[in-house]
Amino acid sequence: MFVPRFLRAAFAAACVSAALAPQLARAADYPDRPISLIVGYPAGGSVDLTARLFGEALSKELGQSVVIENVGGAGGTIGAQRVARAQADGYTLLLGSTNEMVIARMINAAVKYDGAKDFTALGVIASQPMLLAASKASGVTTAAQYLEQLRAKAPGTFNYGSSGVGTTLHLAGEMVNQATGTRAEHVPYRGVAPLVTDLMSGQLDFGMLVLSSGLPQVRSDKIVALGVTEKKRSPVAPDVPALAETPGFESVDINVWFALYGPTGLPQPVAQKLSAALGKVLQSEAFRAKMQEAGGELSRPGLDPVAFQAAETAKYGALVKAAHIEAQ
């Protein structure tokens, strides 16, 4: 039987609408059960702390529980992989950071997800500068002295530690090397705790730390703060200069950031509801105060997370290339 083309088109559209109707109905009721917020690191670190503060605020906005799940391992990539493969219904989300969402795939061939293509970017939450710190044994107390010492000695005479090859801390150290034209040799550690121990004992000359991880030791006079890695001083530690204030370090501007993601294919109504809730959290003075106390600074509301991540990918790609870090 002959069926006119316009009727076939109408029938096809009706079928699509019927298929989407249950999904849209579920999205309209979202969320009607607890949400899992995955953190790719053990409890206690900067990503975990951000997730707990944000999860509490998000729960209030959505009127539903937000449960933090720590899925640690492989530099945050195991947790990210779990969210990439999760059902796209908005009940499994990721509190992602620079390492697993941008850098990991550049340096680790085993990472099979794409931080841009396999997730729905919902918004940037906050960022935190890193801290270039010196051991007391080094005798260096300012960024200017750091530069003088490294320029006066043969390349490789001094070293700096980070939490591992290809981490944000490692690449911040490489940015300092590039900006100053000096060469402190990188010493990778398995986490920040052993790095701090060696820095306090003088076995390590310098260290690159997330600000919140280094401040307790700075304030107890166990290590020396040379400067933060953002262009401006942190409101959490206004007495610590920005490295960029010192001649030779002007181009140093790097931080670690935290953002909210869902799996790719998240229904638009769900994504919009989550993005709107995130925007309200960012406007909360109570949340801002808690994040600042933890060492972080909130993102500006309305920042396009897709464009932001693309820019960060380009920046870190250049750093990885300049540091000659090859994917393993």
Question: 143-161 pLDDT, tens per residue?
Answer: 999 999 999 998 889 999 9
Amino acid 186: pLDDT: 94
Assess whether pLDDT exceeds 70 at residue 235. yes
What per-residue confidence (pLDDT) applies to 156? Answer: 85
Q: What pLDDT does 21 receive?
A: 46
- The pLDDT, as a whole number, for residue 201 is 96
Residue 180 tokens, joined: 């100053």
Q: Would you say 206 and 184 are in contact if contact means Cβ atoms under 8 Å apart? A: yes
Angle subtended at Cα 96 by Cα 92 and Cα 102, rounded to the nearest 5 degrees = 130
Query: pLDDT at residue 327 above 80?
Result: no
What is the gyration radius of the CA atoms in the chain, in angstroms? 23
Strands (E), 203-307: 206-210, 223-228, 255-263, 297-298
Give the rounded percent of residues in the chain with a pLDDT score beyond 70: 91
**pLDDT at 164 > cutoff 60:** yes
Domains recognised in the chain with CATH numbers: 35-127+255-323 (3.40.190.150), 129-245 (3.40.190.10)
| CB-facing half-sphere around the CA of 105: CA atoms within 13 A | 15
22-62 pLDDT per residue, tens: 555 467 799 999 999 999 988 888 899 999 999 999 999 99
C-beta neighbour count of 28 within 10 angstroms: 12
Cα separation, 54 vs 316, whole angstroms: 26
Q: What is the pLDDT of residues 304-321, one digit of tens each?
A: 999 999 999 999 999 898
- Under DSSP, the state recorded for 189 is -
Predicted TM-score of the model (pTM): 0.84
For 261-285, the pLDDT digits (tens) are 999 999 999 999 999 999 999 999 9
Helix (H, G, I), strand (E, B) or coil at 198: helix
Three-class DSSP category at 209: strand
For residue 201 the two structure tokens come to: 């004992």
- Which residue is it, tokens 């099979």? 112
| Dihedral angle sign, alpha carbons of residues 200, 203, 207, 209 | negative
Q: What are phi and psi of 247, to 5 degrees?
A: -55, 135
Tell me what pLDDT residue 19 has. Answer: 46
Q: Which residues pair with 76 in a beta bridge?
A: none
Q: Mean pLDDT score of the chain, rounded to an integer?
A: 90
For 176-220, the pLDDT digits (tens) are 999 999 999 999 988 788 999 999 999 999 999 999 889 899 999
Phi, psi of 198 (to 5 degrees): -70, -30
Residue 243 has pLDDT above 50, yes or no: yes
